Chain A
Amino acid sequence: MGTVFRRLWYWVRQREIEYGLEEELEFHRALKQQELEAEGLSPEDARLTARRELGNVTRAREDSRAVWMWPWLETVWHDARYALRAVRRQPGFVLLSVVVLGVAIGLNASLFTVFAAAALRPMTGVAEPATLVVVSGRVPQIPDLLSGLSIPEFDVLAAEATTAELAAERRMPVRFDSGGGARDMTAAFVTGNYFELLGVHMEHGRGVLADEDTRGASVPVAVLSYSLWYTQFGADPAIVGRTVRVAGQPHTVIGVTSRAFAGSERSRVWLPLASLPVLRPGNTGLDRPQDCCAEVYARLRPGATRAQVATELQTLSDRFRRTVGQDVRPIVLTGTQALRGRRGDNQSLAIIGVLFLGIMMVLLLACANVGNLLLARAATRRGEIGVRLSLGAARSRVVRQLLTEGLILVLIAAAAGLAIAAWLPRFVMNTVARQPAPFDIGPDGLVFAYTAAIAGIACLAAALAPALHATRGGITATLKGDALSRSRVPLRSLLLGVQLALTVVLLTSAGLLLRGVAAARELDLGFRVEGVSEVAVELPEPDYDAERMRTFLADLSTALQSAGLTSVAFAAPGRATDEARLPGRGANQTSPVERLDVSSSYFALLDVPMTAGRSFTDRDRNPGAAVVNETFARRFWPGENAVGRSFVAENRTLEVIGVVRDARVLGLDPVPPSYFVPLTGPRGTLFPVLLLRSNQPSEAAAVTAVVERLEPRGRVTVTPMRNRFDFELAELALAPLAASVLGLFALGLATVGMFGAFAYAVRQRTREIGIRLALGARSADVVRSILSGNARVVALGLGVGLLGAAAVSQILRSLLFGLSPLDPLTYAGVALLLAAVAFVASYAPTRIALRVDAATTLRAE
């Protein structure tokens, strides 16, 4: 305690005390001189000897003062002032470093901003997110996949849980008509306590109330999202009370959610859960425990912990699932952040991870680059550093000084980086991905802290090695200015090698991804996509139940036939992931497969050849017949003939009547094991997609006419099937785009780095070059000697980089579409490109050195 006061006291009277210390030391010296004179030395000799024996006065003074300091405090201030002065003196150097580091830190902070917003930050626009959790069940067959709960299960949990209050939302597309034309959009059917439990911030009006969500007696009310209100209703302030049509039925608008509330997944309109069977006739979601899934939110009651809630819900869930005959499964509580372990979340995290790796490399590269710049600058400041050392500054003190200069650079760069992070993620989401983020993106305290940490690391990485290096070798060596070239592995070469290696890794990844997209473009789809159009037919929803759709399908087939449109086929829309096993095997020995419901003309229309057996025919109404693809046959009967074999899927036994070639009908990904069954009617509430092969637009018009004759309210959309793949290709192009930006930035940095390093090396050897030229060496020999020195560094960097790239490329395998991760063309191209850049970077400075007159060079020393 006392020491704190004494420190403060010293702080207040610092100047006085320091004069005192000086006087004290002078007194000491004087007495010593007296003593020496008494021993018989001349006054002059005594003065000198006393001074010598006194040792390093400055050091004594500095050390004495240091005792009183709070560690660093004062010196840091001095260093900062000194560094700022140094920074002002060299604006060009500072600008370059700040741009290089700023972009690297900015990219880093941007990615972290996205990551923090998606994976760390709870849902926005709700009250007290800390006590709000999401309740999910872990799907046993698929690792790390969480799914929601069925409504019947939710009902039991909500009624009986005592540690938390529960609310649910079930998302589903509905047709929404604001008066200016109908559109399909995602609706959230929510329980009556949803808005109150979440504490959703409202822009206008209120949320759904409990008495509006009575099963069997729901009230037709709707809550609009901010963006829907803004875009479709022109932000009408008198929106509450207006009438809109949802699935054809009038609903009263009761409120608009606030802009901050993103809902959990881009829902546009909220409706009472009880209205689900009214708006979607035939939907059994409220009654059947097999129907999945509702998103369930729980608000912890005061005093309850997550663990208590999880335990209670687990008990309730187990009991419920046993009574309805379902397997029990673990209940998992997660926060309300956007990425929380649902389908697709892990892929998103994996993409962020890979990007993070790349961006970290860029940061390292930037640090190595600025480190080299600092080193070059330290070299030109050898004299100054030497003087400071010889005047009694401790080495640690000088190192700290140089580190502070690095820190100032990094701080400016970090500020620039934060500015980038505030702008870039939103820009990318809005322009490149063309969709608003389902969460709020923006830097917050966490991003700030992360950026600060990254900046700290960057500072140490960039400035520490040069600072230690510059002060090495003691005073004499420093003053003579030659210690720098003495080290065995020159730090400059090392930093340059690191830059080159990282650049190779980034450029190779970019090259592989670019070639991967090209490979995907050339990919053999296994069927003929050109000339095929997908015709989507939408029927007025409340009037068409499953039975009426089936009739419509039969009528449409007949009508198309009689209209002479024979090149048509039907397929159930989307994909249905299913599980299959061999007969006699247990339920735990299943494999995930895809099921496609198609009409008999499907394979002929798409030009998918049969490799064995036959396809189904229209007469062939055997409900147990199935066609499988080659992958399916290989999975279950490797090396054997699959025709005539049977398998179990969806609780029935199916017999394989034929095998078709693998075709990427579902997309560019590798073909999954799939089986095809005859299309007997619609699946759920979605009408099958009609496939049409035609080269004349008139035929598409004819199909539309047929549909409209049968059902005037039906809507027909015709899209070339090719579009689906083009869309997927466009999405794929994002990864190479990101990688190319990083790669080119890296190449730019490496080029600047090499140029700087080689120019410096040549400058250091100007004298040697001068001597050689004076002694009659030919320019070519000199050039060769310089180039060979550089070539070693370049070759080493390239070599290490290519090895690193080979390792990293394994991660990218899934994005390469059959292209080898060791694609020789890419590696050779990158190596050649960098070698060429290196040659230019070292040749130019050499030419400049050669142009210098030998005599002038030598005299300059």
Chain B
Amino acid sequence: MKSEPPDLLPGTLDLLILKTLARGAMHGYGIAQHLKAASRDVLQVGESSLYPALQRLLLNGWVTAEWGASENNRRARFYTLTALGRKRLTAERQEFDRLVLAIQQVLAI
């Protein structure tokens, strides 16, 4: 199933979610808000991409989920990065840096 927005590089959404969660546990809406704010409104991740991506991370054991109370006391599902997820984040980060560097080098010619 395709779930990344077309303007994101493949696999990048997972990286961004992992990075966001590295700051602490967060619910889905929070993640979307953070991505939007941190990218100054450039990255508007739709729910149809976000939630499948979260399920994928859960399945791979990179994050865990737990029900808790939100800021305004509603039941919300909070996602936390696991040790495995942290390792994954480092690995994906390096891979992404390598990729971006490569792209920049190509564009610089």
Min Cβ gap A435→B in Å is 60
- Provide the residues of chain B in CB contact with A3, threshold 8 Å: 59-61
12 additional A-B residue pairs with CB within 8 Å, beyond A7-B59, A24-B27, A32-B29? A6-B59, A21-B51, A25-B51, A27-B27, A27-B70, A30-B74, A55-B47, A60-B47, A60-B51, A63-B48, A65-B55, A68-B55
**Residues in A neighbouring B46, C-beta threshold 8 A:** 54-55, 60
B residues near A57, Cβ cutoff 8 Å: 47-48
Task: Kindly list chain B residues whose C-beta atoms are within 8 Å of the C-beta of A20.
Answer: 67, 77
A interface residues (Cβ-Cβ under 8 A, vs B) = 2-3, 6-7, 10, 20-21, 23-25, 27-28, 30-32, 54-57, 59-61, 63-68, 394
CB distance from A124 to the nearest CB of B (A): 52
The answer, yes or no, to whether B25 is at the interface (CB within 8 Å) is no
Among all A-B residue pairs, the 6 with the closest Cβ atoms: A67-B55, A63-B52, A60-B48, A31-B29, A55-B46, A64-B55
Cα–Cα, bound, A394→B2 (Å): 10
The answer to the question of B1 belonging to the interface, with a C-beta cut-off of 8 Å to chain A, is: yes
**Does B58 sit at the interface, judged by CB under 8 A?**
yes
A56 to B2 CA separation, bound complex (whole angstroms) = 13
Which residues of B lie under 8 Å from residue A68 when comparing CB positions? 55, 59
Residues of A contacting B50 in the complex (Cβ-Cβ under 8 angstroms): 60
Point out the residues of chain A lying under 8 angstroms from B48, CB to CB: 55-57, 59-60, 63
Are A2 and B61 neighbours in the complex by a CB distance under 8 Å? yes
How many angstroms between the C-alpha atoms of A30 and B47 in the bound complex?
A: 13
Most buried by B among A23, A31, A57, A65: A31
Instruction: Please give the distance in Å from A822's CB to the nearest CB on chain B.
Output: 55
Contact partner of B52 (CB less than 8 A), chosen from A6, A23, A66, is A66
Nearest A-chain residue to B61, judged by Cβ: A2
**B46, B51, B54 pick with most chain A CB within 10 angstroms:** B51
How far is it, in angstroms, between the C-alpha of A2 and the C-alpha of B67 when the chains are bound? 22
- Measured in the bound complex, the distance between the Cα atoms of B77 and A30 in whole Å is 14
Interchain nearest-CB distance for B38 vs A (Å): 16
Q: For residue A3, which residue of chain B has the nearest CB?
A: B59
Minimum CB–CB distance from B37 to chain A (whole Å) comes to: 12
In the assembly, what is the distance between CA of A6 and CA of B50, in Å? 20
A63–B1 CB distance below 8 A? yes
Give A24's nearest chain B residue, CB to CB: B77
- Cross-chain pairs A/B with CB under 8 angstroms, 5 sampled: A20-B77, A23-B75, A28-B32, A32-B29, A57-B48
List chain A residues, Cβ under 8 A from B58: 6
Q: How far is the CA of A6 from the CA of B32 in the complex (A)?
A: 25
Contacts of B29 in A (CB 8 A): 27-28, 31-32
Give the CA-CA distance A158 to B108 in the complex, in Å. 82
**Residue B3 at the chain A interface, CB threshold 8 Å:** yes
Let me know if A6 and B74 touch, CB within 8 A: no
Question: Chain B 39-74, CB within 8 Å of chain A: the 1/0 string?
Answer: 000000011101110111011110000010010001
In the complex, which of the residues A21, A55, A56, A66 contacts B1, with contact meaning CB atoms closer than 8 Å? A66
B51–A63 CB distance below 8 A: yes
Say how far A18's CB is from chain B's closest CB, in angstroms: 11
B56 CB to closest chain A CB (Å) equals: 5
B15 proximal to A (CB < 8 A): no
Question: Which residues from chain A contact B67 at a C-beta distance below 8 Å?
Answer: 20
Residues of chain A within 8 A of B47, CB atoms compared? 25, 28, 54-55, 57, 60
Least distance between A364 CB and chain B CB atoms (Å): 34
CB distance from A810 to the nearest CB of B (A): 51
CA distance A65 to B29 in the complex (A): 19
**Which of chain B's residues have a CB closer than 8 A to the CB of A63?**
1, 3, 48, 51-52
Q: Interface SS of chain B: helix, strand, loop or mixed?
A: helix
Who on chain A is nearest to B1 by CB?
Answer: A63
Q: Please determine whether B51 and A64 come into contact, CB atoms closer than 8 angstroms.
A: yes
Nearest to A2 among chain B residues (CB) is B61
A68→B52 CA distance, assembly (Å)? 9
> What are the residues of chain A within 8 A of B56 when measuring CB–CB?
67
A797 to B69, CA, bound (A): 70
Q: CA separation between A24 and B31, bound complex, in Å? A: 13
Within the assembled complex, what's the spacing in Å between the Cα atoms of A56 and B46?
9
> A6-B58, A63-B1, A67-B59 are known contacts. Are A27 and B51 too (CB-CB below 8 A)?
no
- Whole-angstrom distance between the alpha carbons of A64 and B47 in the complex? 10
* Separation of A63 and B3 alpha carbons in the complex (Å): 8
CA distance A25 to B50 in the complex (A): 10
CB within 8 A of A27: which of B1, B55, B59, B76?
B76
Q: Min CB distance, B71 to chain A, in Å?
A: 9
Measured between beta carbons, the chain B residues less than 8 angstroms from A28 are: 28-29, 32, 47
Instruction: Write the chain B residue with the least CB distance to A7.
Output: B59
B-chain residues with CB within 8 Å of residue A23 when the two chains form the complex: 75, 77
CA distance A64 to B46 in the complex (A): 13
B1 / chain A contacts, CB cutoff of 8 Å: 63, 66-67, 394
CB-CB < 8 A to A54: which residues of B? 46-47
Measured between beta carbons, the chain B residues less than 8 angstroms from A67 are 1, 52, 55-56, 59
CB-CB under 8 A from B52, the residues of chain A are 60, 63-64, 66-67
* Nearest CB of chain A from residue B63's CB, rounded to whole Å: 12
Chain B residue contacts of A60, Cβ below 8 A: 46-48, 50-52
Taking the nearest CB of chain B, how far is it from the CB of A13, in angstroms?
12
Q: Closest A residue to B48 by CB, please name it.
A: A60
What's the Cα separation between A213 and B54 when bound, in Å? 82
User: In the complex, what residues of B have CB within 8 A of residue A6's CB?
Assistant: 58-59, 61
**CB proximity of B99 to chain A, nearest CB, Å:** 24
CB-CB < 8 A to A25: which residues of B?
Answer: 47, 51
Chain B residues near A394 (CB-CB < 8 A) = 1
Closest-CB distance, B103 to chain A (whole angstroms): 28
Given A2-B61, A30-B74, A32-B29 in contact, is the A24-B51 Cβ separation under 8 Å? yes
Cα distance, A65 to B77, chains bound together (Å) = 16
List residues of chain A with CB within 8 A of the CB of B27: 24, 27
- Give the CA-CA distance A227 to B70 in the complex, in Å: 87
What chain A residues lie within 8 Å of B54 (beta carbons)?
64
Nearest to A21 among chain B residues (CB) is B51
In the complex, the chain B residue whose C-beta lies closest to that of A397 is B1
**A32 CA to B32 CA, complexed, in Å:** 10
Mark each residue of chain B from 71 to 107: 1 if its CB lies under 8 Å from any CB of chain A, else 0: 0001111000000000000000000000000000000
Question: In the assembly, what is the distance between CA of A23 and CA of B29, in Å?
Answer: 12
B3 contacts A24, C-beta separation under 8 Å: no
B28: which A residues are within 8 A, CB to CB? 24, 27-28
Question: B36: shortest Cβ distance to chain A, in Å?
Answer: 11
A59 — which chain B residues lie within 8 A by C-beta?
Answer: 48
Report the Cα distance A60→B52, complex, angstroms.
7
Complex CA distance for A776 and B77, rounded to whole angstroms: 70
Closest to A6 in B: B59
Q: What's the least CB distance linking B54 to chain A, in Å?
A: 8
**Alpha-carbon separation in the docked complex, A68 to B54 (Å):** 11
What are the residues of chain A within 8 A of B32 when measuring CB–CB? 28
- Residue numbers in A under 8 Å from B75 (CB-CB): 23, 27
A34: nearest chain-B partner, CB-CB? B72
B70 contact set on A, CB distance < 8 A: 27
Q: State the Cβ distance, B2 to closest chain A Cβ, in Å.
A: 9
Give chain B residues whose Cβ lies under 8 Å from the Cβ of A2: 61
Instruction: Write the nearest CB–CB distance from A46 to chain B, whole angstroms.
Output: 15
Q: Which residue in A10, A24, A64 is a CB contact (below 8 Å) of B76? A: A24
Q: How far is the CA of A25 from the CA of B46 in the complex (A)?
A: 12
Q: Using Cβ atoms and an 8 Å threshold, which residues of chain A touch B51? A: 21, 24-25, 60-61, 63-64
A171 to B46, CA, bound (A): 82
| Nearest A residue (CB) for B65 | A20
B56 (CB) vs chain A CBs: closest residue: A67
Measured between alpha carbons, how far is A23 from B28 in the docked complex, in Å?
11
Question: A31 to chain B: closest CB distance in Å?
Answer: 5
What is the bound-complex CA distance between A54 and B32, given in angstroms? Answer: 11
Q: Inside 8 A of A31's CB, which chain B residues have their CB?
A: 29
Q: Give complex CA distance A63, B55 in Å.
A: 9
Give the most central of B29, B46, B50: most A CB within 10 Å. Answer: B29
Q: A55: which B residues are within 8 A, CB to CB?
A: 46-48
Query: In the assembled complex, which residues on chain A have CB atoms less than 8 Å from the CB atom of B60?
Result: 3
A69 to B47 alpha-carbon distance, docked (Å): 19
Interface centre among A6, A54, A55, A60 (most CB of B within 10 A): A60
